[in-house]
Structure 1
Amino acid sequence: MTTAQFLNLERDQNIQLVIIEYHNTGELVGYVDLGSVGNQLCELERVLKRKTRCSSDGVAKFVLVLMVRGVTSDLKFPFAAFSTAGVTADFLYPIVWKAISILEVTVKVKVLFCTCDGASANRRFFKLHAREGDNFIHKTINPHDTTREIFFISDVPHLLKTARNCFSNSYSHSKSRTLWNAGKDISWMHIVKLFEEHCDQNHYTPCPKLTRGHIDLNAFSKMKVRLAAQVLSETVANSLEMLFDDSVSETVTFIRMMNKFFDCLNVRSPYEGRNKRNPNLDAYTRPDDDRLEWLTKDFLQYFEDWKRTIEERGDFTDAEKASMQLSHQTLLGLKISAHSITACVKFMLQKGSQYILVVLGVYIGGSTECTFSQGQRSRVNAFPTCVGRARILHVFYAGNCSFLNYYSDHIPLSVVCTLFLSCFLNLFS
C-alpha cells in the first residue's frame, strides 16, 4: 500500500494588518487571497451584501494553513497557506478539495482523513458533505477512489478543553452551566473544595499536579491542554471518591469518562501502557480492540443517557436543559471524533499495519500551532505579518537540514519533489 497521508486543516492564525512589498518581485503581500474561486465568491458576497469585509482587496487578519502529515511516515509539510479576513465553509470547500485532488492525483498519496478544530466554519464544512437522509456526518466518499472514504475528525485536545470549560462554568466562573445527571450535580466547586481542603496547604497532597492555575482559569490558561488533562484525570477522580461523600459521584463518573477517552486517543508508544501500567495506553493491534468498541458505544451512550435523564427531569425551558449538559458543539465533536478515529484505526490495521499509535500530533491536529509556538519561543513576534507567517513555515520545515536526508530513505524522492512542486505550481496558480 502506498504511504498513507492525511490532510490536516488547521484553524486561522493571527497576523498583523500590514501590507508588505516583496523587494525582488514588487508583489504586495498581506491582502486577502483565497485563490481564484475563493476571491470570486468573496466578490459575489460583497456585491450582494454591499460590504467590503470579505472583499479580496481587504487587508488580511488571519492565515489559513493546510498541513499534510503522514500516518505511516514522519512527513510533516505546510501544503498551502491563504491570507484571509475570516473564512466560511463556502470558501473552505473548494480549497480543501483542490488540495485533496493534488495529493491524490499528482503526488500519489492517499488521503485518509481531515482534522480541524470545532470552529463553526469547520462544522459547516462537514455538513456540506451530507446526503439526503444523513443526520450525522463524519465521513464522505473519496471521488478519486470510491473504494476508500475520507473521514472528518474534530480535534481532540480542543474537545478536551471545551469539555473542561463547560465543567468549569458549572456553578463557578461565569456560572453559565448547571451540569446535572442522575439526580446529582456535576460541579466545578467539587474540584475547588478538593484543592483548597486537601492540596493547597498540605505537604502530602493526593493530587500533586493540581495547582491554583488549574482552579482559577483565565483566558490564557483555558488554552492549555495540559491543565485540562490534569483536571480530568484518574488521580482527581480517585481523590474525590476517597475524600468526599456520594454527592460527588456523578462528577467522578464524568471525569473518569473523559480521562479514558483522552487516554484511548493519546497512545504515543508501543510500550507506554506497559510502563505506566495503564492498558488504555497500549498500542492498537487488533481491529476488534475493546477500546474501539468502548469509544463508539459506552462512551457515546453515556452522553445519550445523560441527555435522556435531563429530558425526563421535569418542567424546564430548553435553555435550562441545555445548560445541564455539555455544549452541543462539544457533544457533536466527541461523536464525530469517536466514530472517525475508530474507523481509521480499523482501516489501517486491516491494511496490514502491525500496530497503530493514535498520537495527538498525527491523528489529531495541532501541527501548525506547535510550529508557531516554536517561532514565538525563538523570539519571533506572536502576531507577525503575513510574510512573517510564511517565513516561520519556511524556516521551520524547509530549513530543517534532516528533512531531505530522512525522507530520501523512507519516501521516494519523486514524491517529495512532486509535493514541493505541486504546492507552488498548482495550488497557487
Structure 2
Amino acid sequence: MKWHPMIIRWALTLRAHFSFTYTYMRSSGFISLPAEPTLKTYTSYRSFKYGIDNDNISLLSEQLGSKRSITLLHDEVKIKEGFFYQKSSGELTGFIEIGSVNSALGNLETGIDSSPKLATHVLCFMARGILSKTCLQVAHFTTNCFWDLISHLELNDIYVRSSVSDGASTNRKFIKLHASDYRKDEITHRAINIFAQHPRTIYFVSDVPHLLKTTRNCIENSHGNCNSRKPSAS
C-alpha cells in the first residue's frame, strides 16, 4: 500500500492525540489506515538542520580525540516529499514547513497546491576518521558548499586530508576547477587546503566501489538483462 502524504499526516496527528481510537479504528476493518511500523518510519529520526551541522562537528571532534585526520565523503542524495512528527514539540517537520492537515485537505479539494516546492536532491557530506572508526554526517546542502564546510572543520582542529566522491560530471568539473593549484600534474587529483593552519594538500579520491558498480551495471545491461545499452537492430 502506498499512502498519500496527506493520509500519513492525518494518521500521525490522530494517533498523537487519540492513540487508542486510532488503534481501534484500524483494527475494526471499517477503514484502512497505515500500520504502526509505517508511522514509526516518520517518527524515528534524529533532528538536523540544513547546512553545516555544528553539533555533529563538535561531536566528531570529541570522538576523534587525538586522531584528528579525516576523509570527507560527499554524494548527491535524492530526497522525497518527506516529513517527520516531532514528539517533543508536536510539530510535523521536514525540509520545508508543510502546513496543517486542514490546509492539505483544502489543497486536495480545490486541486490547487499552494505549498512551497521541495528540492529534489541534496548534497550530503560525511566525515570518516582515517585513524579511527568515527563516521558522522556533518552537513547537507542543496548546492555545493565544499570549501565552506572545510573551513568549519579546520577551525575545529579536524584535519581534512582527502575527499571521496563518485564520477558524476559535476564532481569531475569541481575537481578540474583546482587544476591551477598544481599545474605540473597531468591529471588533477589534489588541491591546496587554504583553510589549514599550515596550508597542505587535500587529495581527491574516486569512490572505487561506485566505479565497480557502474562497470558491472554497464556490462549487465548490455547482455540480456534490460538491454538498455544494447544497440538497436536498425
Please give the TM-score of this superposition, normalised by the length of structure 1.
Answer: 0.29
1:172, 1:25 → 2: CA distance?
52
Q: Structure 1 residue 157 and structure 2 residue 209: aligned?
A: yes
Is 2:166 the partner of 1:102? no
Alignment of 1:51-66 (within 5 A): 58-66=117-125
Deviation of the 1:19 alpha carbon = 5.6
- Aligned twin of 2:81: 17
1:101-129 Cα deviation digits (max 9, x unpaired): 11111x20211111122222222222222
Partner of 1:284: none
Task: Give, in angstroms, the shift of residue 155 of structure 1.
Answer: 0.9
User: How high is the sequence identity, in percent, across the aligned residues?
Assistant: 35
**Could you say which residue in structure 2 is the equivalent of 1:176?**
229
CA change 1:15–1:170 in 2 (3 A) is: closer
Match among 130, 154, 169 for residue 179 of structure 2: 130
For residues 7 and 25 of structure 1, what CA distance do their matches in structure 2 show?
35
Letter in 1 for 2:70: Q
Return the offset for 1:165: 2.4
* CA displacement at 1:142 relative to structure 2: 0.9
> Cα 1:18–1:2, aligned 2, differ >3 Å: closer, same or farther?
closer
Secondary structure of 1:131's counterpart equals helix
Return closer, same or farther for 1:97/1:175 CA change in 2, 3 Å cut-off. Answer: closer
Aligned pair partner of 1:120 in 160, 169, 176:
169
**Residues 18, 138 of structure 1: alpha-carbon distance in 2 compared, 3 angstrom cutoff:** same
Secondary structure of the equivalent of 2:137? strand
Alignment of structure 1 residues 27-426 onto 2, 5 Å: 29-31=94-96, 58-82=117-141, 84=142, 91-92=143-144, 95-105=145-155, 107-131=156-180, 136-145=187-196, 147-170=199-222, 172-173=224-225, 174=227, 176=229
Do the aligned residues in 1 keep the contact of 2:67 with 2:132 (CA within 8 Å)? no
Aligned length: 143
1:81–1:171 distance in 2 versus 1, CA, 3 Å: closer
The runs of 5 or more residues in structure 1 that have no matched partner are 33-56, 85-90, 179-429
1:4 paired to 2:55: no
The one-letter amino acid of 2:172's match is R
Letter in 1 for 2:134: L
Cα separation, 1, equivalents of 2:215 and 2:158? 35
Q: Deviations over 1:376-426 (max 9, x none)?
A: xxxxxxxxxxxxxxxxxxxxxxxxxxxxxxxxxxxxxxxxxxxxxxxxxxx
1:153/1:25 Cα in 2 relative to 1: closer, same or farther (>3 Å)?
A: farther
In 2, distance between residues paired with 1:80 and 1:175?
35
Instruction: Return the offset for 1:18.
Output: 4.3
Q: Contact (CA 8 Å) 1:8, 1:69: kept in 2 or not?
A: yes
Higher strand share: 2
Structure 1 position 148, deviation (Å): 2.1
Secondary structure at 1:9's aligned position in 2? strand
Give the counterpart letter for 2:220 in structure 1: S
SS of 2:180's partner is: coil
Aligned in 2, Cα 1:158/1:24: closer, same or farther, shift over 3 Å?
same
C-alpha deviation, 1:175, in angstroms? 6.9
Aligned counterparts of 2:151 and 2:90: Cα–Cα separation in 1: 30
2:188 partner amino acid: I
Per-residue CA deviation, residues 277-311 of structure 1 (Å, 9 max, x unaligned), is xxxxxxxxxxxxxxxxxxxxxxxxxxxxxxxxxxx
Looking at structure 2, the residues matched to 70 and 29 of structure 1 have their Cα atoms a distance apart, in angstroms, of: 29
Contact 1:166–1:177 at 8 Å: present in 2 too?
no
SS at match of 1:10: strand
Query: Greater helix share, 1 or 2?
Result: 1
